[in-house]
Structure 1
Amino acid sequence: MNKAVIVEAKRTPIGRKDGMLKQFGADELLSPLLKHAARMSQNKLDDVIIGNVVGPGGNVARLAALEAELPISIPGLTLDRQCSAGLDAIRLACCLIQAGAGNGYIAGGVESTSTSPFQSRARFSPDKIGDPDMGAAAENVASKYGITRKLQDEYTLLSYERSIHAFKHSLFSQEILAVNEYNQDEEFLKERNIEKLVRRARPVFNKENGTVTAANSCGINDGACVALVMEEGLAMEMGLQPVLRYLDSVVCGVHPDYPGIGPVPAIQQLLNRNNLTIAEIDLVELNEPFAAKVVACSKALSIPYSKLNVHGGALAIGHPYGASGAMLITRLFYEVQRRNNCNYVLAAIGSGGGIGLAVLFEVICKKKQRLS
């Protein structure tokens, strides 16, 4: 079986909805990333696979590939698995390489909520089963799994603390490809008293006894992120350094009322199938749409915070839906290069409709000179 590896990963800075990136459509956010990855691949590409959730519709991957002046022979595929889309795009590219269907892919996701033509979300599930908004679903998870407001706020502050530390030490700059003059995440452009905001925030989705607030939830954001996925032998022939080797992945369904718990069965199946325990996983990146979800998954899987989202995540930086899953892999891609002791890492995400997705990688480049 062929081996799929990640040899490059980049993202745009993340902007707030109607914020600094509001004038850029999805294809405009994506095309500079495609150009960068295509140059690295020397255009030895079979396809561009992009996750997108809120539009503009059509085949954004094809549009952006043409906008980026990639060879016309590269077709482009756009997929939607809600917030899992960007992670699933990379997963699909890896599986295609394993199967021998191709040797080189640019995969990831994009979201321009500012320019989306859709004013309301799509249906996640039939009403007869349950189709809660994601905030209400986070309250469901918090209630069912005993995740208190205190636990959520504590994790939120930890995520902000880690993200701000990473920003101040320029760790995020290694991930970011500037969009015109924008080269920093918008959330860090203003100094704010985060602790006061978190403590004073009121419940949004259940006014009487709710625990989910605007502060312990992510924002609505614009941004794009891609990885260059190649067959390992070809990458080595081209002089590219593989960093992460794809090992396995699991995607599964959970009840649509509790989508935030989706990563739990996906990760459990993935570990069991590969005869691993959570103790043998060195780093875990888990999307952060709501603190309730992260705390619930951490408790259910016994993931210590010391190896979970070590530089924060969507609570602080933002959640550009289609791109967020690809950002998890991008974060792992750079973090393992700063460490000498990582062997296995995984990325996981839960999404609307009750979907859990987890992807397992082996670390094959302990440290790169340019990050040392």
Structure 2
Amino acid sequence: MIVAARRTPISTAGGRLSRFGVEGLAAAALRSAAADAAIATGRDIAVGDVILGNCMGPGGNIARLGALAAGFDLTVPGMTVDRQCGSGLAAVATAADAIRAGEARMILAGGAESASTAPLRIADGRAYPRAAFAPAGFPDPEMGPAAEALAAHDDIDRGAQDAYALRSHNLARAAELSGRFDAEIVPVGGVHHDDGPRDGLERMLSRFAPLHPGQAPDGVGTVTAGNSCRISDGAAAVALVPASARRGAPGLAVIGHATVGCDPALPGVGPVAAVERLLGMTRVTLDDVAAIEIVEAFAAQALAVLGRLGLRTGEGIDPRVCADGGALALGHPWGASGAIGIVRLFSRLVRSGAPAGTRGLAMAAVGGGMGVALLVEVVR
């Protein structure tokens, strides 16, 4: 079960966290999660492994680099997971499986991404920003055009996207002002707060030009910088221990997880099948879930998923979804964002005092056509 959860501030690429590098961001979150776990359980627990999600490098085993940079014993290994934007969730799921299989030591899991220091790749003498999400012969859209295609496919107009983006910013601003992020954030190099949410977004939304007008059937386009996430730097880590080692510490039990592939032409809908499989496996319904986190890469993508899951109706967005805002407001450090969703669930459920048995759900869409979902339950 998860007995501690921390994240760094989330900063726009090229901004305040750009000088720290991915291992520095990872180390800050890992150290804090381990320290919190020691306080929660009343003792130091040996770290058995570090498992981190990461998408863009700069190379090497980011989890091992982070473990060394955090000052852990040299015997602590590390494993880096790449499920693109679902990497952080996949890392937590992998750690939970290891403990369920008999690992008696603590595992620190999460994700870290420094978009600021991500290297360019070179092939055939040309630099390119990312590797293929799908091989030749399959659709492999960039995520912006993929969101545009999904908006057209599901008939999600710009007004709906802008309204959802504004919801995310307003909720995040309220959470920030009330201090609901304070306990989960570990400062890095004097940076104590997220770069987002934006001020005055409501006035600016109508002024944003479409990012990919050629992807829309009418050539106009609906996906803009205002209803899309910002590429960001950040890290998150959670501490997982066997139930027998928690010593009365409150936390989140990992009830189950699922990963499902989908059409790579519409990767944004991946979480739908993942959630449906997960709920079927665990015999839980969405009505049984109190808190839901989705990685808000694009408003169009989030709305498509929420609509298909019945969490978006004519009356609006289900209030359980990203109740303190999401990636549209705070930013999207690719490999870390899924783990940030778990940190948010820990704050929304454990830190807030939700009773035992309260459930939370985190989900993320993945480039190349996949969805990842993970279900947790409060234990006290």
TM over 0.5: yes
**How many Å separate the matches in 2 of 1:24 and 1:305?**
37
* CA deviation vs aligned residue, 1:17-58 (integer Å, no higher than 9, x gap): 110111111011111222223333424111000111111110
Following superposition, the deviation at residue 339 of structure 1 comes to 4.9
Which residue number in structure 2 is paired with residue 363 of structure 1? Answer: 378
Following superposition, the deviation at residue 187 of structure 1 comes to 2.2
Corresponding position: 1:227 with 2:238: yes
* CA deviation vs aligned residue, 1:337-372 (integer Å, no higher than 9, x gap): 32546721110001111110100111224xxxxxxx
Which residue number in structure 2 is paired with residue 368 of structure 1? Answer: none
**How many Å separate the matches in 2 of 1:111 and 1:318?**
12
Following superposition, the deviation at residue 138 of structure 1 comes to 0.6
Which residue number in structure 1 is paired with residue 159 of structure 2? Answer: 150
Q: What SS class does the counterpart of residue 187 from structure 1 fall into?
A: coil
Which residue number in structure 1 is paired with residue 203 of structure 2? Answer: 196
**How many Å separate the matches in 2 of 1:153 and 1:21?**
28
Q: What SS class does the counterpart of residue 111 from structure 2 fall into?
A: strand
**How many Å separate the matches in 2 of 1:102 and 1:339?**
27
Corresponding position: 1:347 with 2:358: no
Equivalent position amino acid for 2:103 in 1: A
**How many Å separate the matches in 1 of 2:130 and 2:156?**
26
Corresponding position: 1:186 with 2:201: no
Q: What SS class does the counterpart of residue 7 from structure 1 fall into?
A: strand
* CA deviation vs aligned residue, 1:287-340 (integer Å, no higher than 9, x gap): 000001111111111125211010010000000011100000000001113254
On the 8 A contact 1:43/1:71 being kept in 2, the answer is no
Change (3 A) 1:339 1:155: farther
On the 8 A contact 1:232/1:242 being kept in 2, the answer is no
Q: Select which of 274, 296, 299 maps to 1:288.
A: 296
**How many Å separate the matches in 1 of 2:74 and 2:115?**
28
Which residue number in structure 1 is paired with residue 124 of structure 2? Answer: none
On the 8 A contact 2:45/2:105 being kept in 1, the answer is no
Matched residue count: 356
Q: What SS class does the counterpart of residue 226 from structure 2 fall into?
A: coil
Following superposition, the deviation at residue 276 of structure 1 comes to 2.0
Q: Pick which of 316-325 and 109-118 moved more.
A: 109-118
Which residue number in structure 1 is paired with residue 59 of structure 2? Answer: 57
Q: Select which of 31, 34, 48 maps to 1:35.
A: 31
On the 8 A contact 2:208/2:224 being kept in 1, the answer is yes
Q: Pick which of 196-205 and 167-176 moved more.
A: 196-205
Following superposition, the deviation at residue 113 of structure 1 comes to 0.8
Q: What SS class does the counterpart of residue 372 from structure 2 fall into?
A: strand
On the 8 A contact 2:359/2:377 being kept in 1, the answer is yes
Q: Select which of 125, 139, 147 maps to 1:138.
A: 147
On the 8 A contact 2:10/2:331 being kept in 1, the answer is yes
Q: What SS class does the counterpart of residue 46 from structure 1 fall into?
A: strand
On the 8 A contact 1:219/1:319 being kept in 2, the answer is yes
* CA deviation vs aligned residue, 1:82-121 (integer Å, no higher than 9, x gap): 0100111001000111111343100000011111122501
Q: What SS class does the counterpart of residue 377 from structure 2 fall into?
A: strand
Task: Calculate the aligned-residue CA RMSD, in Å.
Answer: 1.5
**How many Å separate the matches in 2 of 1:280 and 1:37?**
28
Following superposition, the deviation at residue 132 of structure 1 comes to 0.1
**How many Å separate the matches in 2 of 1:245 and 1:30?**
23
Q: Select which of 73, 77, 81 maps to 1:75.
A: 77
Change (3 A) 1:127 1:150: farther
Which residue number in structure 1 is paired with residue 341 of structure 2? Answer: 328
Q: What SS class does the counterpart of residue 360 from structure 1 fall into?
A: strand
Equivalent position amino acid for 2:310 in 1: S
Which residue number in structure 1 is paired with residue 88 of structure 2? Answer: 86
Corresponding position: 1:310 with 2:306: no
On the 8 A contact 1:185/1:317 being kept in 2, the answer is yes
Q: What SS class does the counterpart of residue 374 from structure 2 fall into?
A: strand
Q: Show the 5 A alignment for 1:246-265.
A: 246-265=254-273
Q: What SS class does the counterpart of residue 186 from structure 1 fall into?
A: coil
On the 8 A contact 2:354/2:378 being kept in 1, the answer is no
Which blocks of at least 5 consecutive residues in structure 2 are unaligned? 39-43, 121-127, 312-316
**How many Å separate the matches in 2 of 1:139 and 1:357?**
21
Q: Select which of 189, 205, 209 maps to 2:220.
A: 209
Q: Pick which of 131-140 and 205-214 moved more.
A: 205-214
Equivalent position amino acid for 1:221 in 2: S
Corresponding position: 1:18 with 2:25: no
Following superposition, the deviation at residue 178 of structure 1 comes to 0.3
Which residue number in structure 2 is paired with residue 369 of structure 1? Answer: none
Aligned sequence identity (%) = 40
TM-score (norm 2): 0.91
Q: What SS class does the counterpart of residue 361 from structure 2 fall into?
A: strand
